[in-house]
Amino acid sequence: MIARNDRLTLFLAGDVMTGRGVDQILPHPSEPEIFEDFVEDARDYVVFAEQNSGFIRKPVPPAYPWGDALGVLDREAPFARIVNLETSVTTSRSFEPKGINYRMHPANLPCLTEARIDGCVLANNHVLDFGIAGLVETLDVLRRAGIRTAGAGRDREEAERPMVFGMEGGGRLLVFAVGTESSGVPRAWAATESRPGVAFLDESSPEDLERLCRRIADAKKPGDLVVVSIHWGSNWGYAVTHSQQRIAHALVECGVDLVHGHSSHHPRPIEIHRDRLVLYGCGDLLNDYEGIGGYEGFRGELALLYLPSLERGTGRLSALRMVPMRIERMRLRRASREEAMWLARRLDSVSRDFGVRIGLADDTSLVATASSAPRPPLS
């Protein structure tokens, strides 16, 4: 991982859901039994996808779900590849009776290492789906693979500890992660001094936010860049709550250079506050939702690879490119121009009230600019 002298480009993604159906097509599937109201076998999600998009020859190679995204990432060569891993990585059967439980077999971890994922955010509502044993195994499996984690741990100190990436020439990239009740993270999952769990943020608590800001201030040194990754909000819809905007602004004002939000199954508005990037919801990147109806208007099959570039010395946003993808047969394909145009128009519409305009580049990637700047063309 090498950063340019003047700027640092990252790859950020929302939810990477490699459990359940995706796990079933990989070389080492977990036991297919699941504990949902209407589906009892994870292989049924494979059937839904095949009915929607076509046959999947199984088992697929570990890199299969990433598809065309791998070539994009290799060309972009981001300094760090960071995703919200929305599953436990475990053989534990101690499932939480919460309706939907995600797990990927530890032997399928090459699905992440083949994509050269550097860091996994774990402060989400599925990392403890198979209990404390499942969380601890997830932490151990990722650590052995050399993948950094943030947002969950064997105690609160570990859960609150940021990922740290040293930058060539000095300075570090620090990535903190927190989960909230609005995204479905139970308060009972909060890590304590003596209990494993997630780094929990009460969105209504000024004390929680102040404590997070103090942790950031204590850790950040001159030359460092800071990302805070937050699992918050509902799965569907474009609304950003007053609480979310208040927290995002407060984080920027206490020294955070980028707010990386996720939980929604589709991209949500983008804001540039004091020259810092706020992604309110990055949407799913990998999932097994093909063929499941109910929210077609949000185009959940469309996903984005977020590639923000930050100024090394200041943390200001230098540029934001987003590469549109389509999930097809549980694999990422480059989106068509028409699909990219749909994403650009929708994101432009929901982001303009936040001072951001979205346009389409010649290569069909999406670009974001502050609204005071000329908007890139949408045609």
- Is residue 114's pLDDT more than 70? yes
Question: pLDDT category, 2, cuts 50, 70, 90?
Answer: very low
CA distance 267 to 263: 10
Beta bridge partners, 334, equal: 325
pLDDT tens, residue by residue, 322-348: 999 999 999 999 999 999 999 999 999
CA distance 122 to 85: 6
For the chain, percent of residues with pLDDT exceeding 70: 97
Among residues 85, 78, 98, the alpha carbon closest in space to that of 231 is found at 85
> Does residue 37 or residue 202 have the better pLDDT?
202
Domain spanning 7-370: CATH 3.40.190.10? no
Task: Specify the pLDDT at position 376.
Answer: 55
Task: Specify the pLDDT at position 96.
Answer: 87
- Domains of the chain, by residue range, sit at 7-370
pLDDT tens, residue by residue, 267-299: 999 999 999 999 999 999 999 999 998 899 999
Mean pLDDT computed over 170-187:
97
Task: Specify the pLDDT at position 377.
Answer: 57
> In angstroms, what CA-CA distances link 357 with 240, 252, 270, 282?
17, 20, 9, 16
> Does residue 373 or residue 233 have the better pLDDT?
233
User: Lowest mean pLDDT: which of 2-11, 19-28, 241-250?
Assistant: 2-11
> In angstroms, what CA-CA distances link 283 with 269, 280, 378?
11, 9, 21
What is the chain's mean pLDDT, rounded? 95
For the chain, percent of residues with pLDDT exceeding 90: 93
pTM value surpassing 0.75: yes
> Where do runs of H (alpha helix) occur along the chain?
21-25, 43-53, 69-76, 110-113, 131-144, 156-160, 206-219, 242-253, 337-351
Residue 377: both structure tokens together: 């063309």
Task: Specify the pLDDT at position 373.
Answer: 57
Task: Specify the pLDDT at position 379.
Answer: 47
Task: Specify the pLDDT at position 5.
Answer: 63
Residues with Cβ within 8 Å of residue 232, at least 6 apart in sequence:
179, 180, 182, 183, 203, 244, 261, 262, 263
Task: Specify the pLDDT at position 24.
Answer: 98
Question: pLDDT category, 372, cuts 50, 70, 90?
Answer: low
Cβ–Cβ < 8 Å for 92, 134: yes
User: Lowest mean pLDDT: which of 35-39, 280-284, 302-306?
Assistant: 35-39
